[in-house]
Structure 1
Amino acid sequence: MKLHVVPPRTGIEWVRLGLRTFFRQPLALAGLFFMYMTAVLVLSQVPVIGVVIGGLLVPAATLGLMAATAEASRGRFPMPSVLISAFRAGRQRARAMLVLGAIYTTGSIVASGLAALIAGAPQDPQPGQFDASTLLALVLHAPLFLMFWHAPALVHWHGITPAKSLFFSMVAVVRNFGAHVVFSLSWLALFLGAGSLMGLLGGILGGPGLAQAMMMPVALMLAAMFSCSIYFTFRDSFVSEDVVEAPEQQQAP
C-alpha cells in the first residue's frame, strides 16, 4: 500500500462517481444509509451510554457504507449484512476497528467538552443557526475528521494498525488537499442548490412548512449520495491490489 497523490480536479470525479454509483443501486444504498441513521437515532436516546456506543461504532459503520458502495460499483446488490463488514473480517481487524471507535469517542468527547468550556454551553439556536459553542466544536473536530477519513478502510482492507491508519489517513488528506477542497465545495454547492430549489418550490406550492417538509427527505438522500462518494476518495488515495477486491473476499467465512 502506498499513497497516491491526485490532481485537484479529481475531487469532482469523486462526486461524479458517488452519484453514478448511488443511482446504480438507489434503493439498496439509500436503505442502508437510512438503517445507519435509524440506529444512530435509537442509540442517541439511551442516556449516557448511547453516545459512547454510538461513537464506538462510527468507524465500523463508515466502513460498512464504504463496503456497500464498493459492492454497488461492481454491479452487485449490497445486502444489509455489508454494514457489519468490519466485524466479519476476523477478530484482529474487528478489535482494531473497536480501538478506532474508542479513540474517536474519546476525541469527540474532548473536542465537545473544550468547545463548551471555551464558548459556554449551547444556547439552543433556531433551526439553521449555530451558536459559538457548536461552531467551535466543529472546528475542534476537524483534526479528528482528517484522521478518521481513511482510517477505517485502511484497517479493514489493508490490515494497518489503528495508530498507523490514523497517521496515514491524515497524511493522505493533506497530500490530496486540493482534491478534497474541490470535493467538499462541490458537495456544498449540491446541497445548497438542492436546498434552494426545494425551498423555492415549497414556498410557491404551500409556504415555509411545505418547504421544510420537502427539504428533509432531499437532504437525507443527498447525504446518502455523499456517503457513496467517500469510498472513491479512499480508493484513489492509496495504491494496492487489496482495494480492488470485493469486500466479501476480504471477510472471514
Structure 2
Amino acid sequence: MKLRMVPARQGAVWVKMGVRTFFKQPLALTGLFFLFMAAMSVLSLVPVLGSVVALALLPAATLGLMAATQEASKGKFPMPTVLVSAFRAGRQQLRGMLVLGGLYALGFLVVMGLSALVDGGQFARLYLVGGELSADLLMQSDFEAAALVAMALYLPLSLLFWHAPALVHWHGISPLKSLFFSLVACGRNFWAFTVFGLTWMAAFLGMGLVVAVISALLGSPQLVGAILLPAGMAMAAMFFTSLYFTFDDSFEVSTGDPA
C-alpha cells in the first residue's frame, strides 16, 4: 500500500464522483443512510451508555456505507447487509474494527470532557444525555466557547479516523497504524480535502437557499421543513457516498497487499 498525492482540484472531483455514484442507486443509498441514522438515533435514546455504544459503532457503520458505495460504483445494488461488512470480513478485521470503535468513543469522550472544562459540562451533557436546547443556553458565552472548543478538537480526531476503518477492512492494517496512515494521508492531501470540505459546505448552503427561495415564491413557509428534511437526507447520503472516493484516491494498492 502506497500513499498517493493528489492535486487540490481532486477534492471537487471526489464530490462529483460521490454525487454521480449516488444517482446510480439513489433509493438504495438513501435507504442505507436512513438505516444508519435510525440505528444511531435508537442507540442514543439510552442515556450516556447508548451514546457511547453509538460512537463505538460509528467507524464500522461508516465503513458499511463506503462498502455500499463500492458496490454501487460497480453497478450492483447494495443490500442492507452491506452495513455490517465490517463484522463479516474475518476475525482480524473484526477485532481491528472493535478496537477502532473503542478508540473513537474514548477520543470523543475526551473531547467532550475537555469542552466541559469551559462551561461546566453543559454542552457535553446536552450531547451525551440529551435535553432542551433553549435560546438562553445558546446565548451563554461559556456554552458557545465549549461548542467551539469541541469543534476544534474534533477535527484532528476526525482526520485520525477518516481512512482508518477502510484501511483496517480492505488492507488488513492494525488499528494504530491505520490511524497514523489516515492522519498522514489527510495531511499530505490537505488542499484536496480543503476543497472537498468547502465544496460540500457550498452545496449544503446552496440547497438550503434553493429550498428557502422556492418556499418564498410559493408563499408557504411550512414547505421549508417539509422539503428541507428529505433534501438534507439525500445530500447527507451523497456526502457519505463521496467518502469512499477520498479513500480510493489517497492510497494505491501494491502487489501482495490484502484485498
C-alpha deviation, 1:134, in angstroms: 1.9
| Structure 1 residue 150 corresponds to structure 2 residue 150 | no
**Residue in structure 1 matching 2:218, options 198, 205, 209:** 205
Could you say what the CA RMSD is over the residues aligned between the two structures, in angstroms?
A: 1.9
Deviation at 1:119, TM superposition (A): 3.6
Structure 2 equivalent of residue 25 of structure 1: 25
Which residue of 1 is the match for residue 189 of structure 2? 176
Letter in 2 for 1:152: P
Q: TM-score, normalised by structure 2?
A: 0.89
Any stretches of 5+ residues in structure 2 without a counterpart? Answer: 127-132
Aligned amino acid, residue 223 of structure 1: A
1:207-226 to structure 2, matched below 5 A, reads 207-226=220-239
1:235 maps onto 2:253 in alignment:
no
Per the alignment, do residues 213 and 117 of structure 1 end up closer, same or farther by CA in structure 2, a change over 3 Å counting?
Answer: farther
Count of matched residue positions in the alignment of Structure 1 and Structure 2: 243
Per-residue Cα deviation, 1:203-230 (whole angstroms, up to 9, x for no partner): 3324433213321211111000000000
**Quick one: distance in 2 between partners of 1:238 and 1:169?**
10
CA offsets 1:126-167 (integer angstroms, 9 cap, x no match) = 5xx783322221111111100000000000000000000000
List per-residue Cα deviations over 1:165-191 (Å, max 9, x = no partner): 000000000000010011111111100
Q: 1:100 to 1:181 in 2, by over 3 A?
A: same
Residue type of the alignment partner of 2:45: Q
Gaps of 5+ in 1: none
Contact 2:118 2:145 in 1 (8 A): no
Identity %: 57
- In the TM superposition, residue 66 of structure 1 has moved relative to its aligned partner by 0.2
Match of 1:54 in 2: 54
Contact 1:119–1:136 (8 Å) recurs in 2? no
User: Do 1:44 and 1:51's aligned partners in 2 also have CA atoms closer than 8 Å?
Assistant: yes
TM-score by length of 1: 0.91
Query: Does the CA contact (< 8 Å) of 2:3 and 2:251 recur in 1?
Result: yes
Q: Deviations over 1:41-87 (max 9, x none)?
A: 10010122101110110110010000000000011111111100000
Supply the distance in 1 between the matched residues of 2:70 and 2:168 (Cα, whole angstroms): 16
2:23 aligns to what SS in structure 1? helix
Structure 1 residue aligned with 2:204: 191
